[in-house]
């Protein structure tokens, strides 16, 4: 690594002749970039990239530059934990970064007051360069490729390694440089500043002091929530329409799940139907999005009605979705205790298919192939599991003191299903069979209220959890806010600067 390497791919296609022309532009860009904290990297907000395979070269531990007292910046000494979630780290005191910015503002002093008015503005000696790490790259190699003098490279590498600790940078990571032309070494640019921002909330900066010594600094950006709105129209599958409109996939699938209790996607969804979702994004203090947004609320406008879902967390409860009346979108009971089932006989009077005389059919029959799993309609406790006369193999679940469900003619029970067992909603409690008085494989399903069989299909609207008391008050205040924000919150497009990040300039040297 002591020799300047031959020109690498990095240098090919370099607009080196154009660089002189662009210098004022680059300089201005550098000044703006520094003032705003590096907009050039604004599209590098994907945390997955940080998980890419690391560069193979291990970073050396920090050592002080020869003859220099070890001057570790205090921020670099703090233990670094890569946060995916959790409370944002405290921001670095503004004073920590001010000295750095002061240096950069110093460049501005040399800038012509009105560059456009002057025919020949003096070419500034600073310019900005953005490079990307390639596979097998290191910061030192990258600097060698643009002919940064070896002594500087070593210092920068050491400072940078101290900041980075054991972490590796991902292939494709952008490295921003402020370079200076030095007359006495025209082929070897001087690095005034090097900045890498592997995560939106964390930036590593190495800067050159006036005395030629490099200093490392870690900048932490505070992350805070921001509420935005996305409007979309259904063309093709709703979920994809949402993602195309800018809803993060996770938020869109939450929306779909919340709607699924209320909307028949097969029959009710039409092309061109409009929807709006309200998202809570996490944004750094300089405007970078660290989380694309979780769903707070959403509305889907169907032909004759609008379905609105609102996220809420009751006291001591878990996050869930509610309609604007404060009723959980999740029903306490599944409408049908099995998937893809067909109702073959409804609740009510009928001629009994085996006994032959007319009697109350006290449940609903679902025709299904033998072995089809039967799901617990709601959370509860098994109060009966065994043969039960004409019911054949039979399971009864008690859900509340008032409500029970029963399942008959099973071929066998689900795992762990016995008297006293606790079951969750949707748990497999048994399999379709034809035991007992039965003409063929089916599930006979009963719904008991206060010990009496009632029509299960008539119970569907009665069984939702409703927010009441303090939860209800909190919910209604929040719902009012969200319903207003569904109409007037800034859209994602309004909060995202239209500016495209400038492509990295590939240049060999000025
Ligand atoms: Zn039946």
Domain boundaries, the chain: 16-221, 224-332+475-495, 342-458
The token duo for 88 is 């944002």
Q: How much distance in Å is there from the Cα of 391 to the middle of ligand 1? A: 9
Q: How much distance in Å is there from the Cα of 420 to the middle of ligand 1? A: 25
Q: How much distance in Å is there from the Cα of 115 to the middle of ligand 1? A: 88
Over its C-alpha atoms, the chain yields an Rg (Å, rounded) of: 33
Q: How far does Cα 62 stand from its chain's mean position?
A: 34
C-alpha separations of 333 from 316, 363, 375, 389, 462 in Å: 22, 15, 10, 26, 10
Q: Which of 100, 422, 80, 428 is nearest to 407 (CA)?
A: 428
Q: How much distance in Å is there from the Cα of 415 to the middle of ligand 1? A: 24
Assess contact for 392 and 408: CB atoms under 8 A: yes
How many residues appear in the chain?
Answer: 510
Q: How much distance in Å is there from the Cα of 422 to the middle of ligand 1? A: 25
- In this prediction the pTM is 0.51
Q: How much distance in Å is there from the Cα of 334 to the middle of ligand 1? A: 18
Q: How much distance in Å is there from the Cα of 369 to the middle of ligand 1? A: 15
The token duo for 79 is 């233990």
Q: How much distance in Å is there from the Cα of 446 to the middle of ligand 1? A: 8
- Rounded CA-CA distance 239/254 in Å is 10
**At 66, phi and psi to the nearest 5?**
-55, 130
Within 10 angstroms of residue 243's Cβ, the number of other Cβ atoms is 17
List the CATH code of the domain at 342-458. 2.70.70.10
| Predicted confidence pLDDT, tens digits, the chain (510 residues) | 433 434 444 543 333 333 334 444 434 444 443 433 333 333 333 333 333 333 333 333 333 333 333 333 333 333 333 333 334 433 333 333 333 333 343 333 333 444 444 555 556 788 999 999 999 888 999 999 999 999 999 999 999 999 988 888 888 999 999 999 888 888 889 999 999 999 888 999 999 999 999 999 999 999 999 999 999 999 988 989 999 999 999 999 899 888 877 787 777 888 999 999 999 999 999 888 889 999 999 999 999 999 999 999 888 777 889 999 998 887 766 666 765 457 778 888 877 777 677 778 889 888 888 998 888 888 789 999 999 999 999 999 998 778 899 999 999 999 999 999 998 877 899 999 999 998 899 999 999 988 999 888 777 545 667 788 899 999 999 999 999 999 999 997 777 654 444 444 443 333
- Rounded CA-CA distance 178/106 in Å is 13
Q: Which CATH number fits domain 224-332+475-495: 1.10.1740.10, 3.40.50.150, 2.60.40.10, 3.10.450.350?
A: 3.10.450.350
Fold agreement (16-221, 224-332+475-495): yes
- Rounded CA-CA distance 476/468 in Å is 10
Q: How much distance in Å is there from the Cα of 412 to the middle of ligand 1? A: 17
Tell the CATH topology of 16-221. Answer: Nuclear Transport Factor 2; Chain: A, (3.10.450)
Q: How much distance in Å is there from the Cα of 460 to the middle of ligand 1? A: 19
Residue with tokens 């494989």: 441
β pairing state of 452-454 and 320-322 = unpaired
The token duo for 376 is 């617990």
């Amino acid at each position: 690594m002591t020799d300047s390497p031959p020109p690498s791919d990095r240098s090919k296609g370099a607009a080196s002749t154009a660089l002189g022309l662009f210098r004022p532009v680059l300089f201005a860009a550098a000044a703006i970039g520094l003032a705003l904290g590096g907009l050039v990297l604004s599209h590098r907000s994907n945390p997955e990239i940080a998980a890419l395979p690391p560069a193979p070269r291990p970073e050396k531990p920090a050592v002080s530059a020869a003859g220099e007292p070890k001057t570790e910046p205090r921020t670099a000494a703090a233990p670094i934990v890569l946060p995916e979630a959790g409370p944002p780290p405290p921001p670095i005191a503004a004073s920590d970064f001010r000295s750095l910015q002061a240096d950069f503002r110093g460049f501005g002093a040399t800038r012509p007051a009105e560059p456009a008015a002057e025919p020949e503005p003096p070419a500034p000696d600073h310019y900005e360069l953005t490079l990307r790490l390639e596979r097998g790259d290191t910061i030192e190699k990258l600097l060698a490729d643009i002919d940064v003098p070896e002594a500087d490279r070593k210092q920068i590498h050491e400072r940078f390694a101290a900041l980075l600790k054991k972490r590796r940078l991902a292939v494709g990571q952008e490295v921003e440089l402020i370079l200076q032309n030095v007359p006495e070494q025209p082929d070897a640019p001087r690095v005034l500043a090097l900045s890498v921002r592997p995560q939106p909330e964390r930036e590593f900066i190495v800067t050159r002091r006036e005395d030629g010594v490099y200093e490392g600094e870690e900048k932490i950006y505070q992350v805070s929530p921001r509420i935005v709105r996305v409007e979309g129209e259904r063309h093709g599958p709703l979920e994809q329409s949402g993602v195309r409109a800018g809803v993060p996939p996770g938020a869109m699938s939450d929306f779909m799940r919340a709607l699924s209790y209320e909307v028949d996607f097969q029959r009710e969804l039409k092309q061109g139907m409009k929807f709006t979702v309200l998202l809570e994004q996490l944004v750094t203090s300089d405007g970078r999005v660290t989380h694309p947004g979780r769903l707070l609320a959403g509305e889907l406008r169907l032909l004759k009605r609008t379905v609105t879902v609102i996220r809420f967390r009751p006291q001591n409860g878990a996050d869930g979705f509610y309609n604007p009346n404060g009723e959980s979108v999740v029903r306490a009971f599944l409408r049908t205790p099995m998937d893809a089932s067909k109702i073959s006989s409804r609740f009510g009077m009928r001629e009994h298919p085996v006994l032959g005389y007319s009697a109350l059919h006290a449940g609903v029959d679902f025709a299904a192939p033998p072995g089809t799993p039967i799901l617990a309609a709601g959370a509860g406790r098994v109060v009966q599991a065994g043969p039960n006369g004409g019911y054949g193999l039979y399971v009864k679940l008690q859900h509340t003191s008032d409500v029970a469900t029963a399942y008959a003619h099973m071929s066998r029970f689900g795992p762990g299903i016995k008297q006293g067992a606790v079951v969750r909603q949707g748990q497999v409690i048994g399999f379709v069979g034809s035991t007992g008085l039965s003409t063929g494989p089916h599930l006979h399903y009963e719904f008991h209220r206060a010990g009496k069989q009632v029509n299960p299909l008539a119970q569907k609207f009665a069984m939702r959890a409703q927010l009441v008391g303090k939860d209800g008050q909190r919910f209604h205040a929040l719902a009012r806010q969200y319903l207003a924000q569904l109409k007037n919150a800034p859209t994602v497009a309004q909060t995202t600067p239209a500016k495209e990040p400038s492509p990295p300039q590939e240049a060999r040297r000025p």
